[in-house]
Structure 1
Amino acid sequence: MNPILSIIVPCYNSEATLEATLKSILNQEYQEWEAIIVNDGSEDDLESIALKYIKKDSRFLYFKKENGGLGSARNYGIEKAKGKFIVPLDSDNQIEKEFTKEAISIFKDNSNIGVVYGNAEYYGEKSGIWEVGPFDLNRMLAHNYIDACAIYKKSLWEQVGGYDENMPHQGHEDWSFWIALISIKVKFYYLRKITFKYYVSSKSMINNFTEDMVLENQDYIISKYSRLYHAHYRTSFKYRRELRENFLNNLKSRKFVVDLICDTFFSFKLFNSKLDEF
């Protein structure tokens, strides 16, 4: 039977962490899955770990390719995926056992949902909880705050052409992908719980980005989705202008002015005028 969920595990020199990642896949509650391990031209011995899990469970599949970067490895795996839903899982992260089961249930109950994501728990050189927060277009356009480890419909990946393999520097391809989904009005669902464990290392790719590298990727993304950015700017500018006009009109009301003074200096209102938007 074809799996419902395809877990894509791109690997590059991740011998030290891969086993824990694959073990977390085995330990999840949801069982209708396949896990596609993509060796992206690694120079270490991660292959022996991958082959061990293939022997352990036939739902693990293993492929090797020349090094092409993270976006390329994800696309390679997703092209071979049979599942209706996709979850990219980096080879140093660990999926929580309840996440996929709950996400699939959310998709079944809400046909308009395209992406399900949640919080993460740091491990490695950092501990604590990464509380991602609800979907916010302003935040997403400014920077990526939703990790690639989220579950989405494969049809959406097909619709936007997958992960961008032509960015100046690999490392923000998941940000570009989320914006591509936003541009076709995909709905994101925030699951308010820990959905995976996120490995933190000073040697990771993203932590070795220079400021110039980040700016080059930002320029590339803004240029690629310029229509979305311009449309959002116009909408935001119009909204702020309307707020200012309403504020100036309200200043003609004595009750509003009294409430504004009381709320600013004494944190209470006499007349309960609507101040929150200002």
Structure 2
Amino acid sequence: MQLSVIIPCWNAEATIAQQLEALRQQHWSEPWEIIVADNGSTDATQAVVQRYQDLLPHLRLVSAVGKQSAAFARNVGARAAAAPLLAFCDADDEVGEGWVAAIGTALKQHNFVASRFEHRKLNAPHLLQFRRPNQAKGLMQHPFLPHAGACGLGIQRALHEQIGGFDEAIRFLEDNDYCWRLQLAGVSLQFVAEAVVHIRYRETLFASFFQAQQWGECSVLLYRRFLPQGYPPFTWKDGWQEWFALAKRLLKVRSKGTLAKWLRDLGWRIGRVKGAFKYRIFAL
């Protein structure tokens, strides 16, 4: 076995079949397996996966109960893996044609790799208006260090174990933390344009707002953690300018798309304020 594809999941009965079907169409000259790490689903997720085991003989379902987090489920899946190469994808996305071969081949040449994200296939047009097409042309850029989404990451198993896997104490943005810790340890992150993942967005305004708020709050935890390693410090001036710009943008909301983008940005900033109080550090 050369490559283990790990899918963390929780109550994913509505989407995981699409991901497993996409993986069923994959071909690679090297032996590979799929590990679904179920994080305590209460719906029919396990039944869906079990049906696919008849179609995918290299598919395994493992229990990842004990802690409710994607990071925990990924780590459980990695420990169950039989291969020296690991690749991660999510239960609500869809890997593109040739993804397994592209990510597996890339890991023969590099220690740590990221896929290219495609945003149109799984999302309605109005959802595309308020989200930047992150990772469509390269790694996500950040004032501190570049990073990539966990869905589509590939890594040498030895390196994953060396840094202790994903940090299970972080509920959100654990992929940022993972990428940054590896880079600070001297491991470069390579973008693999041939490895395409179709990304699915949250479908309602509330879900998008709530997700942004969670991300904003956890971004403060990462700020506090990585400030000593060179994360650029936040300033009062920048914080108030961003709040003022957000207030001005409300006057220009003219459509569902612009409202959705404004609400998402508001959620992020509210999350930052919550994080500032929770983690006792300035982060407006």
Q: Does 1:176 align with 2:177?
A: yes
1:119–1:193 Cα contact (<8 Å) kept:
no
Q: How far apart, CA to CA, are the structure 1 residues paired with 2:143 and 2:196?
A: 20
Partner of 2:138: 134
Moved over 4 A (4+): 127-131, 142-145, 203-207
TM-score by length of 1: 0.70
Correspondence list, 1:218-257, <5 A: 218-229=219-230
1:40–1:73 Cα contact (<8 Å) kept:
yes
5+ residue gaps in structure 2?
Answer: 234-284
Structure 2 vs 1, CA of residues 191 and 174 (structure 1 numbering), >3 Å: closer, same or farther?
Answer: same
Structure 2 vs 1, CA of residues 206 and 166 (structure 1 numbering), >3 Å: closer, same or farther?
Answer: farther
Q: How far apart, CA to CA, are the structure 2 residues paired with 1:153 and 1:50?
A: 26
Structure 2 vs 1, CA of residues 215 and 118 (structure 1 numbering), >3 Å: closer, same or farther?
Answer: closer
5+ residue gaps in structure 1?
Answer: 234-278
- Larger proportion of strand: 1
Aligned length: 224
TM-score by length of 2: 0.69
1:119–1:191 Cα contact (<8 Å) kept:
no
Deviation sequence 1:77-120 (CA, Å, 0-9, x none): 11111112111111111112312212332333x3x542242232
Q: Which amino acid is the alignment partner of residue 126 of structure 1?
A: A
Structure ID, larger Rg? 1
Q: CA deviation at 1:184?
A: 0.9
Correspondence list, 1:19-30, <5 A: 19-30=17-28
Deviation sequence 1:138-177 (CA, Å, 0-9, x none): 526378554432222111211111111112xx22111111
Structure 2 vs 1, CA of residues 46 and 201 (structure 1 numbering), >3 Å: closer, same or farther?
Answer: same
Structure 2 vs 1, CA of residues 134 and 200 (structure 1 numbering), >3 Å: closer, same or farther?
Answer: closer
Q: Which amino acid is the alignment partner of residue 153 of structure 1?
A: Q
For 1:8, which of 3, 6, 9 is the aligned residue?
6
Partner of 1:149: 152
Q: Which amino acid is the alignment partner of residue 210 of structure 2?
A: N
After superposition, the CA RMSD in angstroms is: 2.7
Q: How far apart, CA to CA, are the structure 1 residues paired with 2:91 and 2:115?
A: 18
1:89–1:148 Cα contact (<8 Å) kept:
yes
Partner of 1:209: 211
Q: Does 1:47 align with 2:46?
A: yes
1:118–1:193 Cα contact (<8 Å) kept:
yes
1:122–1:130 Cα contact (<8 Å) kept:
no
